[in-house]
Amino acid sequence: MDQNYQNTLIELHHLIDSSKKVLVLTHQKPTLDSLASSLVFYLSLPPLGKEVTVACPDLPTVELSNLVGVNKIGNSLGGKNLIISFPYIDGSIEKVSYNIDKDKFNLVIEPRGESLAFQEEAVQFTYGGGNTDLIFVIDTPNLSDLGSLNQQDVFSGKPVVNIDCHNGNTNFGKINIVDPNTSGTAEIVTLLFHDLKINLDPDGATNLFSAISQTSNNFSSERTLANTFEAASICLQSGAKREIQKFQPVVPSPQSQSVIQRQPQPQPTVPTPQLRSPQSTSPIGGGQRQTPAETPPEWLKPKIYKSSTLL
């Protein structure tokens, strides 16, 4: 363990220890790796007295629903500030103002030209400005990848810890733990929790083990190194459950049975002898039926063969 990493661990340990509310964010179109790496904070930090919120701009898809705690992921920051978002082109807004009409608050956005012409469906309403002490951004190369969660008022003045495995990471955090020479972000997070001496929750360890298995292609990819196996071992020691795939016995279909079963050996074809009548050269059965002639009497007499030598 090099000195820089040791210093990072000391600083990060101090940030976690001094924080009460922790916000964990990950990128748009989440993956198994990004969600498993994010949810471990939600599953493992509360025993340390931390209030953890996990958010992703896009809700998880069905294939990620088996992750423990996936239903706790929100797509907004849940603060008190109402945020109205819509597509914007630089220089397209002339002026922003508001007025109050009886019991209605009207926000007026005056466009410059026709550049703000868009569909109503493009307008999004979210809440932000929540009270947060520490922000983790997981598996996200750039803050713009957070989409609607990339809110300046949220990040302003807050320490940001950037944990990622991508080559193009922009190192936007106060603390950057970025290592592209790994199987994935779940491997980095697992080893980080181990080095910080934070106990992994068994459910969080199960999520991480699943992600490590996938990103390493079941520990067979070129990016599978010694640290990958060490991270997997830590997950198993922490109570991770391996998902064992059960295979149903294959029952051949009738079509495949004809291929799999031994084919009967073909019997040699013996040509039917063509009998001929002594009085006719045409085969019996070809044309008009022939009546065979009577056997000559001399054919029935016994034959006596004489030797050519004297006995």
Better-scored residue on pLDDT, 240 or 89: 240
Residue 128 pLDDT greater than 60, yes or no = no
Alpha-carbon 115 to chain mean position:
39
Q: Is the pLDDT of residue 242 over 80?
A: yes
Token readout for 194 is 């181990």
Q: Which of 36-50, 152-166, 280-294 has the lowest mean pLDDT?
A: 280-294
Q: What is the pTM of this model?
A: 0.65
* C-alpha distances out from residue 117 to 85, 133, 147, Å: 14, 39, 21
Task: Please state, in angstroms and rounded to a whole number, the distance separating the CA atoms of residues 207 and 184.
Answer: 13
Mean pLDDT of all residues belonging to the chain: 82
Question: Tell me, what's the pLDDT at 285?
Answer: 45
307 vs 154: which has the higher pLDDT = 154
* pLDDT score recorded for residue 203: 96
Query: To the nearest 5 percent, what fractions of the chain are helix, strand and coil?
Result: 30, 20, 50
Helical (H) or strand (E) element with 152: helix 152-155
How far apart CA 16 and CA 22 sit, in angstroms, is 8
Residue 262: the pLDDT is: 44
Domains and CATH numbers, the chain: 3-76+128-237 (3.90.1640.10), 87-122 (no CATH)
First to last CA, the chain: 116
Q: What does the pLDDT look like over 167-208, one tens digit per residue?
A: 999 999 999 999 999 999 999 999 999 999 999 999 999 999
Lowest-pLDDT choice from 19-23, 36-40, 157-161, 269-273: 269-273
More confident residue, 285 or 294: 294
The SS3 call for residue 198 is coil
